[in-house]
Structure 1
Amino acid sequence: MQNAEIQRWLAARREQGLYRQEQQVQTLPGGLLNSNGALFVNFSGNDYLGLGEAPLLRQAMADAALADGVASTGSPLITGYQPAHAELIATLRDWLGVEDVLLFSSGFAANQAMLSALVGPDDLLLLDRYCHASMQDLLTSGQRSFKRYPHQDLTALAAMLQQSGIKNQDVVVATEGVFSMDGDVTDCAAILHLLTAKQPLLLDDAHGIGVLGSEGRGSWAAHGVQVSALQCLMANFGKALAGQGGFLAGSRDVIDFIRQQSRHYIYSTALSPALCRAMQSSVLLCRAEQWRREKLADNIALFRQLARQAGLGIADSMTAIQPVLCADNTSAMRWSNALKERGIWLHAIRPPTVPQARLRISLSASHSELQIRQLVQVLVQTQPVTAQNHTTTIPES
């Protein structure tokens, strides 16, 4: 592509209200962040349990950097697999009740590895239309047969399964446990009820891990599903566990199958051993400190109560993710900027990330009651006249 074409593309991006750029910030304890010397209440982070500010976790990272070093020095199959990695994997196995785990540099890489390995060239992949880009991107390669069923529409999924049975096609189903932009929770038990023993379910639980289920095991556990009913579980450390990286969990054979062929695993430098030690501490804190999930649940309930009382249109989400739809990109950006002028950091999310622009409110156990009341008050005071007052149904693109 020529430079002139690049310049025209960037100009069009700005005109469409879709231009993106980094904003340098420093996250602080108590649900705050600093940007250019100004303090904001942060409602755009994914630190759902507030573990990012836990002194024990920070100390674990610092101690591990001194004891284990910050560099793994290679890929996991060469020199990158160290005691810190093995012990983190053992902790994850015990927590989730799985036979084996693979660690990845990101949840994006883990999702790509999961689908590329477990969806065979002759399989039909059935994927929820709103699944994350890391799952959708695999479809653009043209190497796999796929269909996307309407978001959370299990009747449509059942019809697709029936049609595949008539055609004698092997099927793999993939979905998210908690959808990252809508906050709704998938009923894994209901999906599994539609599937036969030969139709595997792959689950991305990046936003459910740590938050839902007994000891924060995830959305599948919250629905009473045994982890063995999933062929493979993807989750990450970058949300409720307050770290970085991702992992795949499942049976010994499934994980070894991925290990043997995943380019994302074989050709990437392994996670820092210091980070692995910190994430081991994070999992232990997550399991033990139930009060964090209880505080988050209280904050979610308070926000939803205040928002309804104030007449704000909110989505039907009972998770930390509370989207408010906007009429268009311009409305979303204006609302976000007006909120920042009042000390609220709440980012506008726009297409193509989502089919319709929105403010994605992200609640945390770190937030105080006063901060949540402030959020609702300022949302009402700055709401554009073009903002939609209902968000229950999100149109598909």
Structure 2
Amino acid sequence: MERLTLSLAQHRQQRQAALRWRSLRVAQVPTRDAFNRNDYLGLAQHPQVIAAFQQGLSDYGCGSAGSPLICGYQAPHQRLTQQLAEWLERDSALLFSSGFAANQCALKGFHAYYDQLLLDRLCHASLLAGLPPRKWRRFPHQSVATARQWLGEGTNSIITESVFSMDGDQAPLAEFAALPADLWVDDAHGIGVIGKGGRGAAALLPDSHALLTIPFGKAIGVMGAALVGGTAELEYLVNEGREFIYSTAMPAAQAAAISAAITVIQSPEGEQIRQRLRERIARFRELCRAAGIALHPSEHPIQTIWLGAEQLALAWGQRLADQQLDCGVIRPPTVPAGSARLRITITANHTEAAIVRLVEGLKQCLTN
């Protein structure tokens, strides 16, 4: 291990010199002044979701004790898959421990059946890792015209996200769906927030043909993910998807909590929460506009301030942290060099006072 340790030490020195070395830090108990959380609707703290998790723990224990094909697929898992299929108007759903695992399972399982995969250049890393180089191309961000131009004569699949995680911009899903290719949408930042009834990409697409990745760790407020789509595709992954077959299933209690969160999203209360979220976003943008703070265009909870230099982004982040205001500092390699930014997430639980305090903190960064 000595050679490995030496090589890793050199790698660390290079990253530190470039201000790109990351370290874990213990996050504080969530407060209304935290602007770095993807819990857009505040459901991670919703009493119905917490109660469902607690009841599930009481009924089923802390773990599933096995993979889905052995003993890990229990009644709460079945209810959740049925709920997802009905809500998003698809045949079925398949549960995974994370969105990364779900995307990797589908990529590895389906790529051999396509002549070409076309991916948006800003697709998440989970949609890129492990792809054979000869099988895929990355078209310019949001460019339907380029995707159309690149379609080959054989079988094609277009892969995109509904909302992109670094800037909160939405994909032209209906235009992609109109192309003569299969469509796969990662709905991580859309589900629960956009579309009628919070149905995300499913509400914006003209039909139910597209495969959907539905992560549960953003607006749904829990953890894990599902692939939601046609029976043939999902049954294939049950039999051939290694990430599904050889992973311990999510706990039944977790599945129960996810079901409870979706029930809230579907309810009149869910619509009230989304309306409150829209109002909070509009208020934040209004205050920033008045303060001369330039925001990237977005009506999504993800709001960004492009700063360019990594040192500047780190300095803004630290100044805000010194005021007990937590925001995301995004820098390479997560984004291209020269495009470091502050990533702010507005949630339905943020108060007027918290938003005003954040804008005051941003004004201080701007003047300093």
Aligned pairs (5 A) from 1:162-181:
164=152, 168-181=153-166
* Contact residue 280 and residue 346 of structure 2 kept, 8 A: yes
Corresponding residue for residue 19 of structure 2: 17
* Contact residue 209 and residue 229 of structure 2 kept, 8 A: no
Q: Measure, in 1, the Cα distance between the counterparts of 2:118 and 2:25.
A: 36
Corresponding residue for residue 281 of structure 2: 300
Q: Measure, in 1, the Cα distance between the counterparts of 2:98 and 2:105.
A: 11
Deviation at 1:170, TM superposition (A): 2.1
Higher deviation after alignment, 325-334 or 98-107: 325-334
Gapped runs of 5+ residues in structure 1?
33-40, 386-397
**Local SS of the residue matching 1:322:** strand
Relative distance call for 1:358 and 1:384 in structure 2 (3 A) is farther
| Structure 1 counterpart of 2:347, from 332, 355, 364 | 364
Aligned pairs (5 A) from 1:203-218:
203-218=185-200
Q: Measure, in 1, the Cα distance between the counterparts of 2:86 and 2:333.
A: 38
Deviation at 1:275, TM superposition (A): 0.5
CA deviation vs aligned residue, 1:317-366 (integer Å, no higher than 9, x gap): 11011111112111111110000111210121111111221111111001
Higher deviation after alignment, 264-273 or 317-326: 317-326
Q: Measure, in 2, the Cα distance between the counterparts of 1:293 and 1:220.
A: 17
Corresponding residue for residue 133 of structure 1: 125
CA deviation vs aligned residue, 1:68-99 (integer Å, no higher than 9, x gap): 11111111011111111111111112211211
Does residue 379 in structure 1 map to residue 365 in structure 2?
Answer: no
Q: Measure, in 1, the Cα distance between the counterparts of 2:366 and 2:7.
A: 37
Q: Measure, in 2, the Cα distance between the counterparts of 1:192 and 1:138.
A: 25
Matched letter for residue 174 of structure 2 = A
Matched letter for residue 331 of structure 1 = L
Aligned pairs (5 A) from 1:335-374:
335-355=316-336, 356-374=339-357
Matched letter for residue 229 of structure 1 = H
Deviation at 1:212, TM superposition (A): 1.0
* Contact residue 185 and residue 219 of structure 1 kept, 8 A: no
> In angstroms, what is the RMSD of aligned CA positions?
1.5
**Local SS of the residue matching 2:141:** coil
**Local SS of the residue matching 1:120:** helix
Deviation at 1:224, TM superposition (A): 4.9
Matched letter for residue 83 of structure 2 = T
**Local SS of the residue matching 1:248:** strand
TM normalised by structure 2 equals 0.95
Deviation at 1:219, TM superposition (A): 3.0
Matched letter for residue 271 of structure 1 = M
* Contact residue 74 and residue 270 of structure 1 kept, 8 A: yes
| Structure 1 counterpart of 2:43, from 36, 51, 55 | 51
Matched letter for residue 173 of structure 2 = C
Matched letter for residue 180 of structure 1 = S
* Contact residue 125 and residue 172 of structure 1 kept, 8 A: yes
Count of residues in correspondence between the two structures: 362
Corresponding residue for residue 276 of structure 1: 255
Q: Measure, in 1, the Cα distance between the counterparts of 2:264 and 2:85.
A: 16
Aligned pairs (5 A) from 1:1-397:
2-28=4-30, 31-32=31-32, 41-120=33-112, 123-139=115-131, 141-142=132-133, 144-161=134-151, 164=152, 168-193=153-178, 195-196=179-180, 199-221=181-203, 223-226=204-207, 228-230=208-210, 232-288=211-267, 289-355=270-336, 356-383=339-366
Matched letter for residue 361 of structure 2 = V
* Contact residue 185 and residue 201 of structure 2 kept, 8 A: no
Q: Measure, in 2, the Cα distance between the counterparts of 1:177 and 1:220.
A: 10
CA deviation vs aligned residue, 1:130-171 (integer Å, no higher than 9, x gap): 0001002133x54x511100111122222212xx2xxx2321
Deviation at 1:121, TM superposition (A): 5.7
CA deviation vs aligned residue, 1:48-87 (integer Å, no higher than 9, x gap): 0011111121111111101111111111011111111111
* Contact residue 114 and residue 156 of structure 2 kept, 8 A: no
* Contact residue 178 and residue 219 of structure 1 kept, 8 A: no
* Contact residue 168 and residue 301 of structure 2 kept, 8 A: yes
* Contact residue 35 and residue 326 of structure 2 kept, 8 A: yes
